[in-house]
Amino acid sequence: MSLIEVNNVCKAYRINKRGKGIPGMMANLVAPKYEKKQAVKDVSFQIEKGDMVGFIGPNGAGKSTTIKMLSGILYPDQGEIVVNGFVPYKQRKEYVGSIGVVFGQKSQLQWDLPVIDSFELLKAIYRIPQEKYTKNLDRFVQMLDMGSFLQQPVRQLSLGQRMRADIVAALLHSPEIVFFDEPTIGVDVVGKETIRSFIKELNEQDNVTMLFTTHDMQDIEKVCDKLIVIDKGEKIYDGSLLGIRERYGTTRQLDVEFVDMPIVSPIANVEVVDLDVLDGRKKRFVFENQKVQINDLMNHLLQNYHIRDISISEPEIESIIRKIYNGEVMTR
Amino acid sequence: MRLAPYLAYFKKSFLNRSAYRFDHLMGILSTCLRMFIFWEIYKALYGGRQQVDGITMSMVTTNFILSMGMEAAFYVDDFFMPHRINNGSIATELLRPMSFKGRMIAENMGNAAFHLCFRFGPAFVIACFLMGIQLPASPKMFVMFLVSGILGYGVLWTISFAVQMLAFWLVNVWSVVTIKNVFINVLSGTMIPLWFMPDWMEGVLHVTPFSSIYFTPVQIYLGQLTIGEIALKCGVQMFWIVVLYLVGDVLWRRGQKKLVVQGG
């Protein structure tokens, strides 16, 4: 039995469809029309203890809904979820003490009070022993560099500061499992980096199990080792981060810098792109690695042209994911 | 049930209240003004007479000071739950390992305690000084008044609780809450003491929850009720607390299953 078991979970919402303007409003008043939207369709997955899983998908794919079901907020329509021996939505009160959840879009801090007061409140709610509380707080505050704004009311914090405070708030009681729903949204580059390294360190040192949704692929590349991709409520990939490259990232590109201005004759199955640098002396050759042998291509180029420099690159995870979202690669 | 987390919320909401000092000064002022306006109106209506239908002006004044004072102290946030449903923050609330209802009570009580000390307190002193209040009928009646006052708060709170739970289905409950508040304002005796209602209506009102919020404690304070009547009226208060709480609780259980978290 895995730490997190999700079996054939479905969840649908009823959405009010309303015409535009005043006529639409009147029609809606008399006979409202509803549409059923299947947010999550028959999703199953397992997560083991200590895993660091990226959970991605385009907007509206059902990520947040899944996270909310996992954290006991929403009831699934069908299927079952077991986390750490609990059924979240049935045993909410007992269960939520062992998890931490960060909603990037929703703060759990007290708006009018200084950050430290919110933490003190959480200490009372989770019954955190004084010693553990001080230890955790000191450690997190130092790791996330929060000393300067602990005494400020939350309403006067910047978004990045608030996000860091929210992350600490979810972790003060040392949960074994943490769900992050877009923890880096709206945070600047430096802030993102701080948050990522913090999350990674916590996963590695304390063996905290984490599920992580984001739209920033760098988050995924730097932090996660496993990946679950869902789209339109259905799971389309579940495996390692490397695996997704092997499976879908079959495109390779070769950047070549020529000594002179070459006239490149077409090569079968290879697309040639002019890079607008070095007066057009640099060109990119894009191809599928199943169709073209890289050795053959390199030999061909070296024999026929004067070449100064050559470099090969794999596609970024981001471009692979973009292709998956766009339906450009077959996922089944 | 462990009390510590709830006490923490009690304390938090008490502290939260004090964040806006100007608001609370204005609160004292508005309570005093309300008492004063109604006092003036009734003084004019009495037109110098000692009593009307056996009700003296000083009883009416006492009714205003007590019931409006209680109104100021009996803080209930009608939008505690609807607000959280509307903006989706119900999600983070449900992440706490504690009862949401218990939390709701704790926060309201924290606010009520603040209002009792810093709104009812000053307004009461000012009003007594300006208008004069009758002394309680007897020390025993004063104690009964306090007990019945607490039960009155219970009734007020459970009415609001039941109405708030409709937010699971309606999302926007502003209109329902407003209707509820009109009923409370008119029928609970704060604006029109129930003595002046037609007899048949007074009879009807005594079995509704509205009259048991403020008017029952006031009647006890003035010594208008016998011990037997007091027991009966407090029984009515407890009856409504239980019934309304159960209604709200059923709605809460049903609603949770169909909860939709708004916004992302």
- Picking from A68, A99, A120, the nearest residue to B91 by CB comes out as A68
Residue A331: pLDDT over 60: no
Q: Where are the alpha helices (DSSP H) in chain B?
A: 4-17, 21-46, 57-73, 80-86, 90-93, 100-115, 121-131, 139-164, 167-170, 174-187, 199-205, 215-221, 227-257
Q: Which residue in chain A has the smallest CA separation from B89?
A: A106
Which of B1, B92, B100 to mutate to probe the A interface, most A CBs <10 Å? B92
Average of per-residue pLDDT values in chain A: 87
Contact residues on chain A for B7, CB-CB shorter than 8 A: 124
Q: Which residue in chain A has the smallest CA separation from B11?
A: A121
Q: How many helices (H) does chain A have, and how many strands (E)?
A: 11, 13
b/e per residue, B46-80, with b = 16+ CB within 10 A?
eeeeeeeeeeebebbbbbbbbbbbbbbbbbbbbbb
Which of A125, A130, A133 to mutate to probe the B interface, most B CBs <10 Å? A125
Strands A234-240 and A282-288: unpaired
CA distance B3 to chain A (A): 9
CA distance A117 to chain B (A): 8
Q: What is the pLDDT of residues A83-113, one digit of tens each?
A: 999 999 889 888 998 999 999 888 888 888 8
Q: Which residue in chain B has the smallest CA separation from A113?
A: B16
Per-residue confidence at A46, pLDDT binned at 50, 70, 90?
very high
- Picking from A74, A93, A107, the nearest residue to B261 by CB comes out as A74
Q: Which residue has the higher pLDDT, B225 or A277?
A: B225
Q: What is the pLDDT of residues A50-85, one digit of tens each?
A: 999 999 988 888 898 999 999 988 889 899 999 999
B37 reaches A (C-beta below 8 A)? no
Q: Where are the beta strands (DSSP E) in chain A?
A: 4-17, 33-47, 52-56, 78-83, 99-103, 177-181, 209-213, 226-231, 234-240, 251-258, 271-274, 282-288, 307-313
B101 reaches A (C-beta below 8 A)? no
B261 reaches A (C-beta below 8 A)? yes
Task: Specify the 3-state DSSP secondary structure of B74.
Answer: coil
Q: Which of A116, A111, A115, A84 is nearest to A100 (CA)?
A: A84
**What share of chain A has pLDDT > 90, as a percent?**
38
**What share of chain A has pLDDT > 70, as a percent?**
99
Q: What is the pLDDT of residues B125-178, one digit of tens each?
A: 988 888 888 889 899 999 999 999 999 999 999 999 999 999 888 878 899 999
Strands A251-258 and A271-274: unpaired
User: CA gyration radius for chain B?
Assistant: 19
C-alpha distance from residue B74 to each of A120, A208, A319, B67, B115 (Å)? 27, 45, 59, 10, 8
**What share of chain B has pLDDT > 90, as a percent?**
35
Q: 102-121 in A: which are within 8 Å (CB) of B?
A: 103, 105-108, 110, 112-113, 117, 120-121
Question: CA-to-CA distance for B215 and B71, rounded, in angstroms?
Answer: 11
Farthest CA pair distance, chain B: 64
User: CA gyration radius for chain A?
Assistant: 25
Mean pLDDT of B94-110: 89
User: Which tokens sit at B153?
Assistant: 């708060």
Inter-chain residue contact B5 with A125, CB threshold 8 Å: yes
Residue A320: pLDDT over 60: yes
Helix (H) or strand (E) holding A168: helix A159-171
Q: What pLDDT does residue B88 have? A: 81
Helix (H) or strand (E) holding A299: helix A294-304
Residue B259: pLDDT over 80: no
Q: What pLDDT does residue B168 have? A: 87
Contact residues on chain B for A71, CB-CB shorter than 8 A: 95
Q: What is the pLDDT of residues A218-259, one digit of tens each?
A: 888 888 889 999 988 899 889 888 888 777 777 888 888 888
How many cross-chain Cβ pairs, A to B, lie less than 8 Å apart? 75
Q: What is the pLDDT of residues B39-58, one digit of tens each?
A: 899 889 888 888 888 889 88
Question: CA-to-CA distance for A173 and B36, rounded, in angstroms?
Answer: 51
Asked if residue A245 lies in contact with residue A52, where contact means CB atoms within 8 angstroms, the answer is no
Q: Which residue has the higher pLDDT, B156 or B12?
A: B156
CA distance B6 to chain A (A): 8
- DSSP assignment letter at A265: P
CA distance B154 to chain A (A): 25
Asked if residue B236 lies in contact with residue B151, where contact means CB atoms within 8 angstroms, the answer is no
Per-residue confidence at A323, pLDDT binned at 50, 70, 90?
confident
Strands A52-56 and A226-231: parallel
Question: CA-to-CA distance for B211 and B215, rounded, in angstroms?
Answer: 5
Distance from the Cα of residue A8 to its chain's centroid:
22
B21 reaches A (C-beta below 8 A)? no
Inter-chain residue contact B15 with A113, CB threshold 8 Å: yes
Q: Which of A176-180, A221-225, A307-311 has the highest mean pLDDT?
A: A176-180
C-alpha distance from residue A196 to each of A186, A187, B172 (Å)? 14, 11, 39
CA distance B174 to chain A (A): 17
Asked if residue A13 lies in contact with residue A37, where contact means CB atoms within 8 angstroms, the answer is yes
A36 reaches B (C-beta below 8 A)? no
Helix crossing, A241-248 with A317-325: angle to 10°? 70
Question: CA-to-CA distance for A169 and B63, rounded, in angstroms?
Answer: 48
Q: Which residue in chain B has the smallest CA separation from A62?
A: B264
Neighbouring C-beta atoms of residue A42, cutoff 10 Å: 14
Asked if residue A54 lies in contact with residue A200, where contact means CB atoms within 8 angstroms, the answer is no
- Picking from A64, A75, A103, the nearest residue to B92 by CB comes out as A103
Lowest average pLDDT, out of A126-140, A256-270, B148-162, goes to A256-270
Per-residue confidence at B245, pLDDT binned at 50, 70, 90?
very high
What lies within 8 Å, CB to CB, of B161 at 6+ separation is: B101, B104, B244, B245, B248
b/e per residue, B102-133, with b = 16+ CB within 10 A?
ebbbbbbbbbbbbbbebbbebbbebbeeebeb
Q: Which of A201, A205, A237 is nearest to A321 (CA)?
A: A237
Average of per-residue pLDDT values in chain B: 88
B254 reaches A (C-beta below 8 A)? no
- DSSP assignment letter at B120: I
Q: Which of A75, A57, A102, A58 is nearest to A10 (CA)?
A: A75
Four-residue CA torsion sign, A282, A283, A288, A291? negative
Asked if residue B137 lies in contact with residue B58, where contact means CB atoms within 8 angstroms, the answer is no
DSSP for A63-94 reads: HHHHHHHHTTSS--SEEEEEETTB-TTTSHHH
Neighbour order of strands in the sheet with A271-274: A271-274, A282-288, A251-258, A307-313
Neighbouring C-beta atoms of residue B178, cutoff 10 Å: 11
Residue B248: pLDDT over 90: yes
Question: CA-to-CA distance for B50 and A255, rounded, in angstroms?
Answer: 103
Q: What is the pLDDT of residues B58-80, one digit of tens each?
A: 898 999 899 988 988 888 889 99
Inter-chain residue contact B12 with A121, CB threshold 8 Å: yes
Residue A263: pLDDT over 80: no
Inter-chain residue contact A105 with B5, CB threshold 8 Å: no
Question: CA-to-CA distance for A140 and A146, rounded, in angstroms?
Answer: 8
- Picking from B19, B94, B263, the nearest residue to A72 by CB comes out as B94
B2 reaches A (C-beta below 8 A)? yes
Q: What pLDDT does residue A82 have? A: 95
Q: Which of B107, B95, B32, B109 is nearest to B68 (CA)?
A: B32
